Amino acid sequence: MISRLSDDRSRAAIAASIERRRVDTRGLLFRTLLQSCLLITLALLAVLLITVALDSTDQLGTRLWEFLQGTLRSRSEDERLGIHQGMYGSLWIAIIVAVLAFPIGIGAAVYLEEYAPRNRFTAFIEVNIRNLAGVPSVVYGLLGLALLLNGQIFGLDRLTGGSSALSGGITLAILVLPIVVITSGEAFRAVPIELREGAYGVGATRWEMIRTQVLPYAAPGILTGTLLSMARAVGEAAPLILVGAISGRLGDNPGLFDISALTDRFTALPIVITTWTVQSGRDVGFTAAAAAAIVVLLVFVLMMNSAAILLRNRFEKKRG
Amino acid sequence: MSMTDEAPRLIERPVAAGDPSAAPGTPSVATERDVVFRSEDVNVYYGSFRAVRDVTFDVRKNQIMALIGPSGCGKSTVLRCYNRMNDLIKDARVTGTITYRGTNLYDERVDPVEVRRRIGMVFQKPNPFPKSIYDNVAYGPRVAGQKKGLDEIVENSLRKAALWEEVSDRLKDSALGLSGGQQQRLCIARAIAVGPDVLLMDEPCSALDPIATAHIEDLMQEIKQDYTIMIVTHNMQQAARVSDTTAFFTADVRSENDTRTGILVEVDATQKIFSNPSDERTENYVTGRFG
């Protein structure tokens, strides 16, 4: 009996000692703080998107097709006002970036990661590529200006036609090149050593090992990196201003896939957005036009990102 | 598990990688016919650091040679000398001579890629490619340029690796869906598919459970009539069970700069190593008094 009693007593003591006694105020506070950080982020984004969407209804809601087909105009009431030229410029800039920056960037990354000896020189190069990725985009605009417009080097201006979508595309390709090299390089570094050894172990050459193991394994990572860099390129305005994207009096309105217009005067969606926003000061109607252009650009970028995600999932499934 | 009812024996060597005598390099020493590897004073350096010192022994045809010893004694490093796998490590350097059927493996005219086709390797961690079972086995023949007769090679190799019965109805499935033991047998099939002469196994069972380990050990006994096998193992019982010859390594630790160099203590018939070794260090190790 006595032992039972003391048992009961100690049981009660244990129960009391592990009983929840205080509220964890600090923890709760911390959690609330984190939640509000998330809320602020979401709220800002929501406000931005909602205002833009509401503003854009004047154009997109009433004359969507005309707006997509129309051109730059000096008055917002002009019924031929639209972003077709901006879409043309942005579309081709994206294509040129993909054609130039992706193969060159991925190729450079393959060489750096798989072939180049690891020494101070290559380490120096890698650090510099990382630095280049942080250089302000205006500086790349200056490079494009000197290289492609003023013809200071190689007389490239004759090829690009000076201020043209081609010049803009090449400039932005140079801008994203370091990003492509870095993200691809990281994807290559993530390939497990076991796969490499396995391939070498059955008599694969270095090239065969890279083609059959490294590239397929790294494909999802490369894809994510390259398409993010593409989204960046399509959203840039500053370098395009320097290579002479214009905001009015564009000559013809080429069809979206008219290659001959690549060396003509050009504009692009970020430039159109900037210009119309500036012009809304004297002509309020441009607010709606700028908002509508933003929505189109967002949809463009969103489509690219969705494509990237879809492709990445497919590649990832493949690699198991 | 059908290890026994499907005896993988009738199969001929799938791919003949060429006559050994046609390999480049000069026969440096007159060797007995059945010496596959002859190593003389082999040292392995990483930069200026000597990882393994003065290894000398022969490996004979259709034998299983086990390399045993405590961690960090350089067994794997030694093993990787025999198919030039150490070439892949920057700063790694091999001195001394290793001849493969009379040809110096480190002769500058020797192509390491060809070496690896004849001297296959199975790694510590099963490392199937993220491809189908079929594509895993066909990988080696494909990179060697073979396009025809792959079905036959895949089947023969899987049969030899005692895996055919378990996977024949799902060859197109991902190899990553197999169990660890199956994956390791797949890796053996993959190594066999290129028609090697020698198999190097670097602790092939260390990531496997006892049943899968028994499978692999049975398999080694089955295939040793066709191949010469060198196996690194941490498991002394395994060495005692499977091998004909055993080489015992130990680490020479220098406390002043905290470096360790692997040294070969003795090589002998496995039975002798485990019952009556000549060196006291071997005896201490195999009786469990050290390491």
Q: pLDDT tens digit string along B106-141?
A: 999 999 999 999 999 999 999 999 999 999 999 999
Q: What is the pLDDT of residue B91?
A: 87
B-interface mutation test, from A202, A209, A319, most B Cβ less than 10 A away: A202
Q: What is the C-alpha separation between A277 and A108, in angstroms, rounded?
A: 39
pLDDT at B100 over 60: yes
- Nearest CB among B120, B127, B194 relative to A197 is that of B127
Residue of chain A whose alpha carbon sits nearest to that of B127: A194
Lookup result for tokens 């004359």: A63
Render B129-185 in DSSP notation, one character per residue. Answer: -SSBHHHHHHHHHHHTT--SSHHHHHHHHHHHTT-HHHHGGGTTSBGGGS-HHHHHH
Sequence-separated (6 or more) residues with CB below 8 Å from residue B85? A197, A200, A201, B116, B121
Q: What is the C-alpha separation between B187 and B121, in angstroms, rounded?
A: 9
Minimum mean pLDDT range among A265-279, B58-72, B252-266, B274-288: B252-266
Six-digit token string for A91:
């579309």
How much is the CA Rg of chain B, to the nearest whole Å?
19
Q: Which of A125, A119, A82 is nearest to A256 (CA)?
A: A82
CB contact under 8 Å between A203 and B123, yes or no, is no
Q: Which of B155, B220, B194 is nearest to B13 (CA)?
A: B194
Q: What is the C-alpha separation between B39 and B117, in angstroms, rounded?
A: 20
Six-digit token string for B134:
């079929």
pLDDT at B2 over 90: no
What share of chain B in percent tops pLDDT 70?
88
- Nearest CB among B116, B174, B193 relative to A320 is that of B174
Q: What is the pLDDT of residue A297?
A: 94
Q: Which amino acid does the sequence have at A224?
A: T
Q: Which amino acid does the sequence have at A280?
A: S
Lookup result for tokens 């008599």: A203
Q: What is the C-alpha separation between A190 and A231, in angstroms, rounded?
A: 24
Six-digit token string for B60:
């004979």
Q: What is the C-alpha separation between B58 and B37, in angstroms, rounded?
A: 6
Q: Which residues on B lie below 8 Å from A319 (Cβ)?
A: 130
pLDDT at B241 over 90: yes
**What is the per-residue pLDDT across A125-146, written as a single tens digit (0 to 9) for each?**
999 999 999 999 999 999 999 8
Is the complex ipTM more than 0.85? Answer: no
Q: What is the pLDDT of residue B230?
A: 96
Q: What is the C-alpha separation between B157 and B186, in angstroms, rounded?
A: 9
Q: B31-127+200-285: what fold?
A: Rossmann fold (3.40.50)
- Overall size of chain A counted in residues: 320
CB contact under 8 Å between A202 and B123, yes or no, is no
Q: What is the C-alpha separation between A207 and A53, in angstroms, rounded?
A: 50
pLDDT at A206 over 80: yes
Q: Which of A219, A183, A221, A215 is nearest to A199 (CA)?
A: A215
Burial (CB < 10 A; 0-12, 13-18, 19+), residue B108, is exposed
Output the pTM of the full model.
0.81
- Annotate B129-166 with b (16+ C-beta within 10 A) or e (fewer): bbbbbbbbbbbbbbbbebeeebeebbbbbbbbbbbbeb
The pLDDT confidence band at residue A209, using thresholds 50, 70 and 90, is very high
Q: What is the pLDDT of residue B120?
A: 94
pLDDT at B5 over 50: no
Q: What is the C-alpha separation between A195 and A191, in angstroms, rounded?
A: 7
Q: What is the C-alpha separation between B116 and B52, in angstroms, rounded?
A: 22
Strands B92-100 and B103-104: antiparallel
Domains defined along chain A, listed by start? 87-266 (1.10.3720.10)
- Annotate A53-88 with b (16+ C-beta within 10 A) or e (fewer): bebbebbbeebeeebeebbbbeebeeeebbbbbbbb
A118 close contact with B: CB closer than 8 A: yes
**How large is the average pLDDT for residues A207-221?**
94
Interface of A with B in 194-223 (CB under 8 A): 194-205, 208, 212-213, 216-217
CB contact under 8 Å between A212 and B143, yes or no, is yes
pLDDT at A228 over 60: yes
Q: Which of B41, B42, B37 is nearest to B94 (CA)?
A: B42
- Annotate A132-166 with b (16+ C-beta within 10 A) or e (fewer): bbeeebeebbebbbebbbeeeeeebbeebbbbbbb
- Sheet with B35-46: strands ordered across: B103-104, B92-100, B35-46, B49-60, B259-269, B245-254, B64-68, B228-232, B198-202, B119-122
- Nearest CB among A117, A198, A200 relative to B129 is that of A198
B188 close contact with A: CB closer than 8 A: no
**What is the per-residue pLDDT across A46-100, written as a single tens digit (0 to 9) for each?**
999 999 999 998 888 888 888 988 888 888 888 888 899 899 999 999 999 999 9
Strands B259-269 and B103-104: unpaired
